[in-house]
Amino acid sequence: MRVLTGIKPTGRPHLGNYLGSIRPAVALSKERETFLFIADLHALTTIRDATELRELVCDVAATWLACGLDPERTVFYRQSDVPEISELNWILACYTGQGLLDRAHAYKAARDTGEEVNVGLYTYPVLMSADILAFDSTHVPVGQDQKQHLEICRDIATRFNHYHGEVLTVPEPIIDDHVAVIPGLDGRKMSKSYGNTIPLFFERQGVKKKIMSIVSDSTPLEEPKDPDSSLVYQLYSMMAPTDRAAEMADKLRAGGYGWGHAKKELVALFHELFEERAKTYDRLMANRGELEEVFAAGAQRARAQAADTLDRVKKALGLL
């Protein structure tokens, strides 16, 4: 079983990213062979500033490493450092029908809202397919909103294999239907587009203020409270061990314990989880050479695998 995950560097990592993506991916990497990459080529569909892109790539990489990703166990690389992916992208594009791309959700959403649709956005699923197929990935973790991209990848791989034999590995999805939506400060899904995020490391000085500003009901201190209806408790229960979450729930139901107390416990738990990790993040961001060494080592391992796949594909096509 070989698992592949990509992270698009289009925003600063926040608590929702950690709970929904980073923590489960790091845990999975300890059990399975894992390839994990920073998708900087995908980011080019929207980012036009070179300095911004470099900063976002470093920020995302430093965050994942600070949160426990082990580059010795995981093949961790920057997408643009593996040119075999781009070459495979063109080959796969020649096996991809226009109708398949016309049905892609991201393209249709941009088109319907009047956004600019560049060719990169339109062919995004093909590059994503190259990302996956270049490494003979057997499984790809995807949410329900990303499931279609993997279905397109499977269609492309199956079409190629129809003409040339079992050359490409057709991946299977890893879908956890029980993954909860991580709520933001306003109760909606935590997202940079809503401005309701809790930052992990970048501009983290305001975390306490953000958490203490979460709106709660006016139930008096001495009265029992329903933890399940509380945004503060929802976040706490997603971050804390089960026994500690149960302890807070019991205190809320018993009364004599207010939302202010719960918010302070949430602040304390946040610092408990990320204070030491922040030191690693700060070190990496201050020493970009260390990040580049990690990328270089990962690219060497990634290119070896991608080159094998590309050679196999080229032989099937008659290009070698």
pLDDT tens-digit series, residues 73-132: 999 999 999 999 999 999 999 999 999 999 998 899 889 988 889 999 999 999 999 999
- Both 28 and 156 in one domain: the answer is yes
In a domain, 194, yes or no: no
User: Which CATH number belongs to the domain containing residue 221 in this structure?
Assistant: 1.10.240.10
Query: Cα–Cα distance between 171 and 161 in angstroms, integer?
Result: 13
In a domain, 198, yes or no: no
Range of the domain at 36: 2-181+288-317
- Both 26 and 133 in one domain: the answer is yes
DSSP 190: P
In a domain, 196, yes or no: no
DSSP run (H or E) holding 139: strand 139-141
Query: Cα–Cα distance between 96 and 111 in angstroms, integer?
Result: 20
Query: Cα–Cα distance between 105 and 94 in angstroms, integer?
Result: 21
The label of the residue with tokens 């990790």 reads 277
Query: How many domains does one find in the chain?
Result: 2
- The answer, yes or no, to whether residue 179 has pLDDT greater than 70, is no
Residue pLDDT, tens place only, 249-258: 999 999 999 9
- The answer, yes or no, to whether residue 263 has pLDDT greater than 90, is yes
Bigger pLDDT: 300 or 109? 300
- Both 270 and 295 in one domain: the answer is no
Query: Cα–Cα distance between 69 and 295 in angstroms, integer?
Result: 13
- Both 142 and 212 in one domain: the answer is no
- Both 276 and 293 in one domain: the answer is no
- Both 277 and 295 in one domain: the answer is no
Compute, in degrees rounded to 10, the torsion defined by CA atoms 251, 254, 259, 264: -20
Which tokens hold the place of 86?
């781009």
- Both 301 and 277 in one domain: the answer is no
- Both 262 and 296 in one domain: the answer is no
Residue pLDDT, tens place only, 30-85: 999 999 999 999 999 999 999 999 999 999 999 999 999 999 999 999 999 999 99
Q: How many CA atoms lie within 13 A of 39 on its CB side?
A: 20
In a domain, 62, yes or no: yes
- Both 125 and 257 in one domain: the answer is no
In a domain, 187, yes or no: no
- Both 107 and 241 in one domain: the answer is no
